[in-house]
Every structure is written in structure tokens, then in C-alpha cells.
Amino acid sequence: MRARINSIVFLIVCMAFCFNVKVSALEDISKVQVDYDKSAGISVTIRDQHYGPIVVSGQTKVFGASFVNQTGETKTCDFRYAAFKDQKLVQLYDGTGEVTLENGKMHDIKVPCYINLPEGDYQFFPVVKFDNDEKWYLTKKLSTVEKNGYWKLHVYENYPAPSSEYMNFPDANGKGDSEFSVYHAYQNEKFRVQMKLVNKESKPLSGKIKIMWERNLAKFWRGMVYDATDVKTEWSICASELAHIGTAQAENGGIPISIEANGKLDIMIEDCFLREYYDYGERWAPYLAAYFLPEGKEDVADNWLPVNDNSDFCFDSDMNLLTDQWDHALNFLAFNTFEGNATGTENLELSKVGLVFNKADGTVLLNNVPESSFVRVVDINGRLLQTTRVETGNSFRFTLNPGCGLNIVSLYNYDGKLVKSFKVIR
């Protein structure tokens, strides 16, 4: 099941398109024509809200969606994210530039949008303008959008919590290599979480930070059909219960931090772990998410604020989009635990680990590999070809494509430490 979910993620990533254009981040609304009645002929299939529900005025927020061109023909068009209030356009954000969408194909779009809206509730969703057409068309009718709460987000004027330029799992190795991977660990297996926190206030920001592992379909919903009554497998537990940042130790999971005025802070949260295992069923993987408790606030659940994503660094001083590196502006990690503690790899006998390569058909067999270890295959340029956990038995088999050149096959211990590497040429 988990392999199937990861395959879905990989499929969407493969079909994603990138943008390299530099266009105005904020459009002059008075000159924008919107056809509120005619459909764009594009089906929005996923509300990509895994960056969380927090939108703060004066910060950059990543929005996204996956969709299918159902117009019956290939279309050249411009995609943007837009904000609507009271069923009227109030802001048109930066876009992907001119792109070509093949009919019937799924595409993925995520765009950082600088938010300068007054506090209040808005609908954020994509609009499209086709080649040789002056009008913008909605990918969903406003009446439909109003009925689906996941398109509706609240903009905060003041939000007393830092935002995050990135969040990663530095010991990933065979356990995941990008935003699109699901990181994983065994129960009670320690891991680290690295973040760069941003304080945009003109005064220092102090408080506590903690890492929560949670499955909350309303807050971090990705794909499939959202059902507000489907809460039987939701949970929220602390992963930083006994963690620390340097010498600052956690108290009830919260670790003291302080960020200077208009400053940034790199932190490494050490010794995180999870005591529990949950089967998340047929949905997308749950998340590790960071929360912040402002100094002076009582340590109760309602006072902890989700750390927002931050991709301000993608814009210049004139708010022109500069880079596509916004994809690293994460404030979450897709994460799951394996049931039971990892065993069997601590006494790994390196001399017994072997690799057999069949040049005729390209089959590679890695044998005498302990269960719960990880295998990672990269090409000569370091591009990841595949990564997998050894589920059962003591071997791992895969096939190299003809003419793929030099490949490096690496075996990692259950805790992400490199054990042994092999070079294979085909």
C-alpha cells in the first residue's frame, strides 16, 4: 500500500512542469477580465494544501493544485493562482508563464504567492488564460468552490509565530530524498529535524518549538475525497518529547528558542522519536509539522501555532519571481513509522554482504542484506534511480537499463548510516 502511494506521488512529480519566466508578482486587477460563467474545461483533481492552512499578510505562501486538461485538445495557456472574496477576484498572483497542456494529461502546479491582502477569509484557487484570449477562466465554478472548505483559507494580519524557509530530515539517505518522498523510521528510532526559521517582526520573537506527528485531514489534506466525518484514523502526538536544540532541552516537547528582530535562525532538533505506530490506511502519509508557543502563553494545545511556510527569498525587492527553488520552502515532512523496533542490523557482517550482476539482462542481486536496512541506487550524476526498504528475507533485486552507465548501489543501516557501496556499469 505504501509503495502504491509513493508511486502516485512519483507519477505526479514526473508530470509536473517548471517555470523559469520572470513576471509581475501582483497583477493590476482593474485590467483583468474574468469570465465567471464559462468553464475552462480543466478538472482540478487535488487541492494541494500540505503546506498547511496558515496564510499571513506580508509573507509568501505556496499554493498548488493538480489538474487534468479536459478540453479535447492540446492547449497553450497561462496558469495563475487567484484570490477571491465575495465571489469576486481581488488578487491575481504570479504564474507559470506560457505552458502547453496535452489533452487528458495530469499536470501539477505549485506557485509562491506574495500575500498583501487585509485580514479575512478568501478562496484561493487556479485560473487560466488560453492563447489568443484576453479573458481568464475559472478552473472551478465559484458556487462549487464555496461548498468545499479546503479552498477557503483565512489571511492573518498578525501571526506571532516564525515561518519556515525549509524543513528537512538530514539523516534521510535511503529513507527519502525530496519533498515527494515519505520519510520513515521505526518506533523509538531517533532522528533529527533541521529548519530555518524566519522572524519578519521588528522585535525579537521568543517562545518554544516542538515537532508533532499528525494526521489531520482538514488541516493537511492531500488528494482523494475529503470527508469531515472521517476521523477514525486521525491523531496528533509529539515527536520532540525528549529532544533538544544544542543544550536547550525540551519541556513537555517544547524547546526554547529566540529569533532576533527581522532575523533568521537555523536549528537542528536532535533526538526526536515516536513511540507509536499508526496505519494510515488508504490515504496519503501523515506529516511531521512544527508548532510554536509564543513566550508568555500557557502551554495548552490551543495556544500552539503551526509554523507557516516561507518562500520570500524567491522574489526580488520589486516582487519579481527569481527562482524555482521555492519547492524547498517546506514546513512539513511526510512521515510514517514502521511497527516494532528495528533489529538485526546492529551486528551486520560486512564480509557476507554481496552483489551479483548479470550483464546479460541487467539484473542486480544484493544478498545477505538484513531486514529493515535500506538500499539506494543513484547514477554517476547522483540522480536517484530508486530507493527501497528490505521488507522481508535477506536479498534485494532490481534491473538496470541498457546503456545507463555507472550506477552506485548503497546499503544503509536502519538508522540511515551508510554501510557499504558497490559500483555497477551497464
pTM above 0.85, yes or no: no
Domains 2-156 and 350-425 share a fold: yes
Q: If 0-12 CB within 10 Å is exposed, 13-18 middle and 19+ buried, where does residue 151 land?
A: buried
Hey, what CATH class is 350-425 in?
A: mainly beta
2-156 CATH? 2.60.40.770
Q: Please name which of 295, 298, 291, 300 lies closest in space to residue 331, comparing C-alpha atoms.
A: 291
Task: Provide the residue ranges of all domains of the chain, joining segments of one domain with +.
Answer: 2-156, 163-338, 350-425
What's residue 257's pLDDT? 98
Question: Rounded CA gap, 285 and 279, in Å?
Answer: 9
Q: If 0-12 CB within 10 Å is exposed, 13-18 middle and 19+ buried, where does residue 170 land?
A: exposed
C-alpha cell at 245: 536544540
**Would strands 75-85 and 88-101 be described as parallel, antiparallel, or unpaired?**
antiparallel
What's residue 169's pLDDT? 80
Which region, left, alpha or beta, applies to residue 253 given φ > 0 means left and ψ of -120 to 50 means alpha?
left
pLDDT in tens for each of the 426 residues of the chain?
333 333 333 333 333 333 333 334 566 788 889 998 888 888 876 555 557 778 999 988 888 777 788 888 888 888 888 999 988 999 998 776 777 888 888 777 777 888 999 999 998 888 888 888 889 998 877 766 665 666 788 899 999 999 998 888 876 655 544 455 678 787 878 888 999 999 999 999 999 999 999 887 767 655 445 566 665 678 899 999 889 999 999 988 999 999 999 999 999 999 898 888 887 766 677 889 999 999 999 999 999 999 998 888 887 887 777 766 666 677 888 888 877 765 544 455 667 788 889 888 888 888 887 666 667 788 887 776 766 666 556 777 888 888 778 888 888 765 556 778 888 888
Instruction: Please give the full DSSP string across 320-377, using - where no structure is assigned.
Output: BB--SGGGG--SEEEEEEESS---SSTT--GGG-EEEEETTTTEEEEESPPTT-EEEE
Instruction: Please enumerate in sequence order all residues whose Cβ is within 8 A of that of 367, keeping only pairs 6 or more positions apart, or say none.
Output: 353, 354, 355, 356, 394, 395
What's residue 343's pLDDT? 53
Question: Rounded CA gap, 64 and 111, in Å?
Answer: 6
Q: How many CA atoms lie within 13 A of 1 on its CB side?
A: 8
